[in-house]
Amino acid sequence: MSHTAHIPSHRKPRRSSSKLALRAGVAGGVLSTIAVAASPAQAEPVTETVEMPTLTNVDLSGALSTAVAASAEATQQDALLQDLRAQEDAAAAQAAKDAKKAKDEAERKAEAERKAKEAEEARKAEEARAEAQDRSSRTSERSSLSTTSSSSSGGGSYSAPATGSAAAIVAFARAQVGDAYVMGATGPNAWDCSGLVQAAYRQAGIDLPRVSGAQSSMGTSVSLDNLQPGDILYWGSRSGSYHVAVYVGGGKYVGAQNPSTGVVERSLDWDRPSGAVRIL
């Protein structure tokens, strides 16, 4: 008998083949389940729920109102811009029209002024020509320093040659024919009646008073039928005459008559004087 026959063995007893097969099957099923779960192709989709913000009726109304207001404002702005452009275009058109009108008016005025200036120059030229002819005629008369003529008026006879001092007086008076009449004027291109007589007598070295009444009171009274060149004719009374002139012979006189006629040579019959005085 062996000494080990009575010593218990430490090894576990072998399991039966049926138990081993069962355990192997269970293990295989577990491994298969794990493999299927780990395989991407076989994994079931995972659905994740995302919560979205809830749009209320209030939010929708506010957004719509804002959009409508913005659209209306944009439309209004566009209308204002179009109106502004229209006003600018109208203003530009009016400005162009006004500028053209002003230019046309300026051209019209310039043309009118040019024509007026030409007319004025032509008038002055004609006056200068006439004055030159008149002055030439006066010079001719002055150079002769004499006048001889005779005429009759109302049965009276006026004949006398102008000589000496009388010739100088007559020549000066006739040289002023055509000058203007201005009250109080004493020359050289405008006269009143007594101013002309005073200046004419100054040519003979005789100083007369300035006014007609005093001039007609000088010298000696003579008949209108016996006049000589150089005599002073007066209208009114001798001491209170209102007009005087110089007798130049041939039944005529030279006097500064009035503003409308100026200095003229007239026949005694044109405005017969009241009387005459002789100073020479």
DSSP letter for each residue of 54-110:
PPPHHHHHHHHHHHHHHHHHHHHHHHHHHHHHHHHHHHHHHHHHHHHHHHHHHHHHH
Range of weakest confidence among 4-8, 153-157, 261-265: 153-157
Amino acid (one-letter) located at 247: Y
Contact 258, 238 (CB under 8 A): no
Q: What is the pLDDT of residue 158?
A: 44
Per-residue tokens: 8: 């218990």
From residue 119, alpha-carbon distances to 115, 127, 243 in Å are 6, 12, 38
Contact 167, 145 (CB under 8 A): yes
Across the range 237-258, mean pLDDT stands at: 96
Assess whether pLDDT exceeds 50 at residue 159: no
Contact 121, 189 (CB under 8 A): no
Residue tagged 């008998």 (tokens): 1
Across the range 130-152, mean pLDDT stands at: 50
Across the range 147-167, mean pLDDT stands at: 54
Ramachandran sector of residue 243 (left: φ over 0; alpha: ψ -120 to 50; beta: rest): beta
Secondary structure element (H or E) that encloses residue 157, with its range: strand 156-159
Assess whether pLDDT exceeds 50 at residue 153: no
Q: What percent of the chain has pLDDT over 70?
A: 65
pLDDT, the chain, mean: 78
Q: What is the pLDDT of residue 15?
A: 52
Per-residue tokens: 233: 């004719």
Range of weakest confidence among 2-16, 93-107, 260-274: 2-16
Across the range 189-193, mean pLDDT stands at: 96
Higher pLDDT, 133 or 235: 235
Assess whether pLDDT exceeds 60 at residue 44: no
Pairing of strands 180-181, 190-191: parallel
Q: Please, which pLDDT band fits residue 121 given cuts at 50, 70 and 90?
A: confident
Highest mean pLDDT among 52-61, 121-130, 213-222: 213-222
Q: What is the pLDDT of residue 72?
A: 83
Assess whether pLDDT exceeds 80 at residue 21: no
Contact 169, 245 (CB under 8 A): no
Q: Is the dihedral of CA 153, 154, 157, 160 positive or negative?
A: negative
Contact 160, 229 (CB under 8 A): yes
Residue tagged 């009575």 (tokens): 6
Q: Which CATH class is domain 150-278?
A: alpha beta
Rounded to two decimals, the pTM is 0.46
Q: What is the pLDDT of residue 29?
A: 58
Per-residue tokens: 159: 């004949």
Per-residue tokens: 197: 């007589």
Q: What is the pLDDT of residue 183?
A: 95
Q: What is the pLDDT of residue 150?
A: 38
Per-residue tokens: 223: 């008949």
Across the range 206-222, mean pLDDT stands at: 96
Range of weakest confidence among 75-79, 123-127, 204-208, 232-236: 123-127
Contact 147, 175 (CB under 8 A): no
Contact 42, 36 (CB under 8 A): yes
Q: Where are the domains of the chain?
A: 76-144, 150-278
